[in-house]
Amino acid sequence: MKLTNEERSRVIRSASIPNRGAAPPRAVLQALVSLVPNDQEIKATICAVKNGQDRITWRLLSVTKDAVIFVEASRVSKDWWMLNPKDEQPAEHLDAWIKPLRDVRRVGVVETESRDDDFYQEEWRWVTAHNVTFKDDMTVLVPPFGGLPSAQEQDAVEGFIGSVLHGLIGIENRP
């Protein structure tokens, strides 16, 4: 698939971790772009990284008008593994798939709490962890590693879940 510079920038921005400026490595972005149907654009994306003792794992969920895309990539590394101009490190593990949005059977709430900390200043907000279950009983967590989202992740969680729900309502109303 070919991308214009503008499309490439839009994908990188949508996949970057909020307020950290960290974009996933090339392997994650290439898997994502290769699964986006040609006639569709990404409506929302949530991306997270988990740094274990010797392994870094990236997980990404995206939604288009008609599909949900999942990408997980990991590799053994003691350094951050992220997008940079010289990023040629391949993933040692790569799992990427696309499922039709119409195959979503359930969107659930896993955990929720209210927060009124300094990050939100004058707001009082709920933060919520979700799961999305498909017809084949596969379930993905939102945020991608589970648990309650950080204040920085919450907007991405709301955008992703909102886009899934909006897409499901649109499917119900199609002739």
Q: List the chain domain ranges.
A: 5-101, 103-172
How far is residue 8's CA from residue 25's CA, in Å, rounded to a whole number? Answer: 13
Between 92 and 114, where is the model more confident?
92
Q: Is 55 exposed, middle or buried (0-12, 13-18, 19+ CB in 10 A)?
A: middle
Between 83 and 155, where is the model more confident?
155
Polymer length in residues for the chain: 175
Is residue 44 a contact partner of residue 156, using CB atoms and an 8 Å limit?
yes
Judge whether residue 87 has pLDDT over 60: yes
Judge whether residue 54 has pLDDT over 80: yes
Q: Once rounded to an integer, what is the mean pLDDT over residues 85-95?
A: 79
Cut 0.85: pTM above it = yes
pLDDT category at 147 given cuts 50, 70, 90 is: very high
Compute the mean pLDDT over every residue in the chain, rounded to the nearest whole number: 85
Judge whether residue 49 has pLDDT over 60: yes
Between 85 and 131, where is the model more confident?
131
Between 97 and 16, where is the model more confident?
97
pLDDT attached to residue 77:
79
